[in-house]
Structure 1
Amino acid sequence: MQIAEVEVFCAIALANSLSEAARRLGLSAMTVSRRLAALERELGVRLVHRTTRSVSLTPEGEVLLPYAKTMLEADEAARATLKTNTALASGMLRVTAPTVFGQAVIMPLIPALLAENPALQVSLTLSDSIVDIVGLGIDVAIRIATLRDSALVARTLAPNPRVVCANPDYLARHGTPATLEDLKHHACIGLHGMPYWPFVRGGESLSVRADAAFSANSVEAVRSACKWGLGMAMLTYWDIRDELADGSLVRVELADAAAERLSITAVLPTRHHVPHRVRVFLDRLEQALTASH
């Protein structure tokens, strides 16, 4: 079996479409069709069912898929081993990340990254929404939300626990809550996408409704409102790291429950043939997160 033919087969299995597989691989639809046909002729079996709109694997294709993936992983590992670790990154790196995290953590890395890799270009999309990285052609998404697409590949970079926090003046005026029940007597600033605050108590998940005179659709607005003393907030550690350090916000610990723990995760469209520029960027980001935590 030729690696090029195996790569086409795996791409078709992931995309469920010959045309989409061709787009992802940068090949013509005719080339993809020919390579698939060549692989089927060599193996003497039909690997996919073809329709006018989509394709699906035959039982023989399902059997072949894990072996095909192993072949591609071995090929990628061999090529990576033979490359020098000092190779410069090049091409267009397309990244998406949450707005506050991208501004506070990723942006400071960009100047040195570009200076050290003159042939590299970076396109950064900051959004608090989950975007379709495959459809938009994005190389890597930095996410903190729970992952829902099992077809994507995730790499955990660093812990990022949720933190209940408040302005010191707010706590001086209203007191510091000690339990979940106490939160009902406080202004809990809500994020539109997260109307309930998630906690864990005794190994079980539970939630408390965020209720305050002010709510917002962005992490930045919630963080600002909390700093101005409009109420308490539940944000992630990396969103308020600087504020915790300078004392403009303080962490509120509850005796009977802990805020949900999350992680900063890099999401890739596929584990095969990850561009060198993506590896360089992720290594740099992971180093920064590890050094600063």
Structure 2
Amino acid sequence: MVSSQDIEFFITIAGSRSLAAAARKLNVTPPSVSQRLQHIERKLEVKLVDRSARFIALTPEGETLARRGQNLLQDLEHLTQEVADSKRTISGDIRLVASLGFGEKHIGPLAAEFQRQYPLTRIELNLSDNPKWAQHNSPDIMFYIGHLQDSSLKRIVLAKNRRLLLAAPDYLQSAPALTTPQDLEQHRCIALRENDEDATMWRLTHVNTGQVSSVRINAVLASNVSQVTKDWCIKGEGIIQRSEWDVKQELAEKTLIRVLPEYQLAEADIVALVGSERLHRSDKVSAFLEFVQHHLPARLAL
């Protein structure tokens, strides 16, 4: 039976122009390459290389060994990494910061799942309508949606995200016409105050022309809690601006309808913010980031 070392050796030969070239890659003498190749052929009882050719020419059996062997080595590498990861000791405190709605709906459940998988960790999750990175008592990871002014933090995009304008069918039945961004000035609008953003300045870009329109809405209702603003909108109180991840169910059930679909708001990617480069992060932080990157897309797709 051939070993993984034999397969790796033969793949080097298969990727070389000659046995001498393979010897140079392996930093050994050409006779030793020839001897080891013969040894592998004797193990398998087949000829792997046609030695009558000027350059290395694999026999059909050699082609099979090179092709399948490459896949086997890759599988072996993945298996080794998976086992090593499972044995990696992940322990210690992990401090997380996230926005209220997103943190409650997604980061909270993921944090609990991660802690069950790594019981030597302790996780503290702080939620806020205006998450901040405190310099003197900084979190390990801050989850953020939208544009962040502080460029000193390392930004890891977890998922793309659009913001949409939405209203309930009941509201639209009795509301004024809504065909341009300027029409919003005549409508009941609902503002979500979070992340120090100007909640009443809505900027929309026409998908086809690229024309940008800025509208200062008159917010008849405002809150710093996203669920409150969404509930108001569902009850027909006015128009909201919400992230697509937060209204998938309402759009599917048609309790909310997208308005001005030919216009787009500024994208608000879902990101993780950390204070150090990857090579300098602790195992616990790297493990949690990998966990979220793996599981978050499936949650957002629900």
Taking structure 1 as the reference length, what is the TM-score of the superposition?
A: 0.65
Q: Do the aligned partners of 2:181 and 2:260 also contact (CA within 8 Å) in 1?
A: no
**Partner residue of 1:231 out of 238, 245, 248:** 238
2:229 maps to: 222
Return the offset for 1:175: 6.1
- C-alpha distance in 1 between matches for 2:290 and 2:257: 31
Deviation at 1:176, TM superposition (A): 6.6
Distance 2:274 2:144 in 1: 11
Matches of 1:155 and 1:112 in 2, distance apart? 21
Taking every aligned residue pair, what percent have the same amino acid on both sides? 29
Distance 1:250 1:286, change over 3 A: farther
Q: Tell me, what secondary structure is at the counterpart of 1:178?
A: coil
Q: Which residue of 2 aligns with 1:119?
A: 120
After TM superposition, the structure 1 stretch with the greater mean CA deviation from structure 2, 125-134 or 197-206, is 197-206
Match of 1:209 among 207, 216, 226: 216
Q: Is 1:195 aligned with 2:200?
A: yes
1:243 is aligned to 250
The CA distance in 2 between the partners of 1:178 and 1:286, in whole Å, is 38
Q: Structure 2 CA distance, aligned partners of 1:89 and 1:204? A: 50
- 2:283 maps to 276
| Paired amino acid for 2:126 | T
| Count of residue pairs brought into register by the alignment | 212
Deviation by residue 1:201-232 (Cα, 9 ceiling, x = unmatched)? 34454421222422223323222211221101
Counterpart of 1:254 in structure 2 is 261
Larger radius of gyration: 2
Superposed counterparts of 1:130-209, under 5 Å: 130-174=131-175, 177-192=178-193, 193=197, 194-201=199-206, 202-203=209-210, 205-209=212-216
- Please tell me the residue identity of whatever aligns with 1:264: I
Q: 1:263 aligned to 2:269?
A: yes
Q: Which amino acid aligns with 1:259?
A: L
Q: Which residue of 2 aligns with 1:128?
A: 129
Q: Which amino acid aligns with 1:199?
A: L
C-alpha RMSD of the superposition? 2.4
Q: Is the 8 A contact 1:212 1:231 kept in 2?
A: no
Where in structure 2 are there 5+ consecutive unaligned residues? 1-80
Does 2:296 align with 1:289?
yes
- Matches of residues 25-104 of structure 1 in structure 2 within 5 Å? 84-86=84-86, 87-104=88-105
TM-score by structure 2 length?
A: 0.63
The gaps in structure 1 that reach 5 residues or longer are: 1-80
Name the aligned partner's letter for residue 164 of structure 1.
Answer: L
Aligned-partner Cα distance in 2 for 1:253–1:88 = 51
Structure 1 CA distance, aligned partners of 2:98 and 2:155?
Answer: 14
